[in-house]
């Protein structure tokens, strides 16, 4: 009887812990990406990812889900598998949201970057559908932000950012 009660308490504790983790993750991701219009200003341009990048990312997320789905050998792991699926889906959703050039900066999945935070834009001619923005300070371990855009738009995006950071 006591083993059964302990098992119930462990399951309830793990469910509560997992729920708190999921809520915290969602709140953290949403808080970084959803920024008020007072801060960002009007949206000038939405940058959509090129088709080859989308296919590569979809394949990577598909492989992750495939790998996680084979971890169901133990019944006690079903909560962990459920949370893993949820985490992968949340990451995928925020990874596929469009990057936005706004009046006051750039909105990417890691948050809002003001024009004052940008040091320079890398040379676009060798990158094709990518524009690399170099920040003055590191952000989440890197001082580079990669903006993906459709073919032929990289020059326009680079010029717009360069004009905004020179003001």
pLDDT in tens, 134-148: 888 877 677 888 888
DSSP letter, residue 129: S
- pLDDT bin (cut points 50, 70, 90) of residue 72 is low
Buried b (16+ CB within 10 A) or exposed e, 77-112: eeeeeebbeeebebebebeeeebbbbebbbbbeeeb
Q: What is the pLDDT of residue 67?
A: 73
DSSP letter, residue 109: T
- State whether residue 149 is helix, strand or coil: coil
CB 121 within 8 A of CB 162: yes
**pLDDT tens-place string over residues 91-126:** 777 777 888 888 888 888 778 888 888 888 887 666
**pLDDT tens-place string over residues 12-55:** 777 787 778 777 777 776 776 777 777 778 888 888 888 888 88
Helix, strand and coil in the chain, % to nearest 5: 55, 25, 20
Q: What is the pLDDT of residue 70?
A: 67
> Dihedral sign, CA of 21, 56, 113, 121?
positive
DSSP letters spanning 27-85: HHHHHHH---HHHH-SEEEEEPPPHHHHHHHHHHHHHHHHHHHT--SSGGGHHHHHHHH
- Inter-CA distances, 102 with 4, 41, 130, 164, Å: 57, 6, 18, 10
Which of 37, 137, 48 is closest to 95 using CA atoms? 48
**Cα 116 to Cα 97: distance, rounded to the nearest angstrom:** 24
pTM confidence score: 0.68
């Amino acid at each position: 009887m006591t083993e059964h009660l302990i098992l119930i308490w462990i399951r309830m504790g793990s469910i509560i812990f997992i729920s708190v983790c999921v809520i915290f993750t969602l709140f953290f991701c949403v808080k970084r990406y959803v920024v008020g219009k007072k801060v960002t200003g009007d949206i000038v341009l939405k940058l959509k990812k090129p088709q080859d990048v989308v296919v590569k990312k979809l394949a990577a997320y598909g492989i992750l889900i495939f790998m996680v789905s084979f971890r169901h050998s133990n019944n006690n792991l079903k909560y962990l598998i459920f949370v893993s699926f949820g985490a992968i889906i949340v990451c995928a959703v925020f990874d596929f949201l469009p990057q936005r050039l706004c009046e006051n900066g750039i909105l990417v999945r890691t948050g809002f970057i003001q024009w004052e935070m940008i040091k320079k834009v890398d040379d676009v001619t060798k990158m094709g559908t990518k524009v690399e923005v170099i920040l003055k300070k590191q952000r989440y371990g890197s001082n580079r932000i990669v903006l993906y855009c459709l073919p032929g738009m990289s020059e326009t995006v680079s010029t717009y950012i360069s004009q905004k950071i020179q003001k």
